[in-house]
Amino acid sequence: MAKCFLAFQGYDIGDIKPIPAYMDEWREKTVILRGIHAAEHMVISDYSLSVDERIEKAHRYLESGGEGPHREYFLLLSERYIKYKPIQKQLVKEIDELMEIDFKK
């Protein structure tokens, strides 16, 4: 669509290039990171807690079975939070490294 729009404006952007493979890894890691933030906002809802206390709160939410109209989503967020919160710093580092690949080109 963008190529058609630009062609109409008189621009030729050349052939469409495939998205680099490392962008799939970037997307997967950023989705995990957004899930961590979503869980902290929607399930944990208390930024004054330590990381261990936040993870414990997510465990309690899972054990309770959740409640409300977004119950299944919040259970999923809690499950992933428990899995990925401990490695959040590593995920951010890996995302930064992937972005460096693109900037070096």
pLDDT of 17 reads 81
Q: How many domains does the chain have?
A: 1
Is 78 inside a domain boundary?
A: yes
**Token pair 């590593």 in the structure block, residue:** 90
Is 3 inside a domain boundary?
A: no
Upper half-sphere CA count for residue 17 (Cβ side, 13 Å): 5
Is 71 inside a domain boundary?
A: yes
pLDDT of 9 reads 87
Two tokens, residue 82: 């428990």
Rg (CA), the chain: 20
Q: Residue 63: which domain range?
A: 18-103
Report phi then psi at 9, rounded to 5: -80, -5
Is 35 inside a domain boundary?
A: yes
Is 1 inside a domain boundary?
A: no
Is 57 inside a domain boundary?
A: yes
- Do 79 and 62 form a contact (C-beta atoms < 8 A)? yes
Two tokens, residue 87: 């490695």
pLDDT under 70: residue ranges of the chain: 102-105
Q: How remote is the C-alpha of 33 from its chain's centroid?
A: 3
Please classify residue 96 by burial: count the beta carbons closer than 10 Å to its beta carbon, then call 0-12 exposed, 13-18 middle and 19+ buried.
Answer: exposed
pLDDT of 31 reads 97
